Amino acid sequence: MQAYEAYIDISSEVREALEKGKPVVALESTIISHGMPYPMNVETALTVEKIIREGGAIPATIAIVQGRLKVGLTHEEIDRLGKAGQDVVKTSRRDIPFIIAYKLDGATTVASTMIIANLAGIKIFATGGIGGVHRGAEHTFDISADLEELGRTDVAVVCAGAKSILDIPLTLEYLETKGVPVVGYQTEELPAFYTRKSGHGVDYTIQTPEALAVALKAKWDLDLHGGIVVANPVPKAFEMDFDTINHAIEHALKEANTRGITGKESTPFLLAMVKELTGGDSLRSNIELVYNNARLAAKLAVAYTKL
């Protein structure tokens, strides 16, 4: 028995799938507690799980519930996190031991979801967008722990690129330094969350989940540790106007600076303000890109388990 097994509860469905070599897709829980209001957050989380199942894989939503690392939440646990909202602790790598020690509920970020998924043996993870280097980081040193985790943990992260509120060029530079490949799925340009384009290229473009699965297996078979960013553009029908979203982001950044909002509180604040400034259009875009990422992640998990 590994020491970490004393802290982790894997649902019977997820455990059986892993033991039988069936495809499993990890899902984060910050989007439930901090991403949108109740009950929309719960409805979205359950729809994402449904999409994963329809794609032939088993969903494993990850969180910490009363100090236990949970891989595969029940509907009741998802509802618990959704109702509690921002009272649930937003949990990254540094927070995990203390959430356990105090038997708290923790909503897992990209970084902590990667850690727990890796402990469980899950290699594919679907989310909205990754964190990164924040604008003005040359003064604040505000850099998401997601980037460090991508440099060390063997999990592929299917996302709609880096969040638009970030400094995307610096985020790409950081990922390059950490040896993390940024792969565009059927695109040569890194998507920027709400928009399909950012003006910055990806390292590689891959056209099929099968080709991507081969690359993942080769990377990890060769002990080239670390994750891969799988950048999957938001569907065109739900893409936001580039100028509109960037104007909203600039306004939100100024407001955050005025209020002195920094660190892990900055992303929820900025996304909420962008939602307000766009009349809710950004939230619809956010939901649809998560659904789109779930579809691709299921296909990728199926392809990976066949190798």
Catalytic residues: 28, 163
User: Contact at 8 Å (CB) between 155 and 141?
Assistant: no
Distance separating alpha carbons of residues 302 and 210, to the nearest angstrom = 9
- Of 160, 171, 229, which Cα lies nearest the Cα of 197? 160
Amino acid at 184: G
Amino acid at 157: V
Across the chain, where does the E strand assignment appear?
Answer: 8-10, 24-27, 58-65, 68-71, 89-91, 106-108, 124-126, 156-159, 182-185, 204-206, 228-231
C-alpha to C-alpha distances, 149 to 96, 103, 132, 144, 213, nearest whole angstrom: 14, 24, 11, 9, 20
User: Contact at 8 Å (CB) between 71 and 120?
Assistant: yes
- Strands 156-159 and 228-231 turn out to be parallel
Amino acid at 284: R
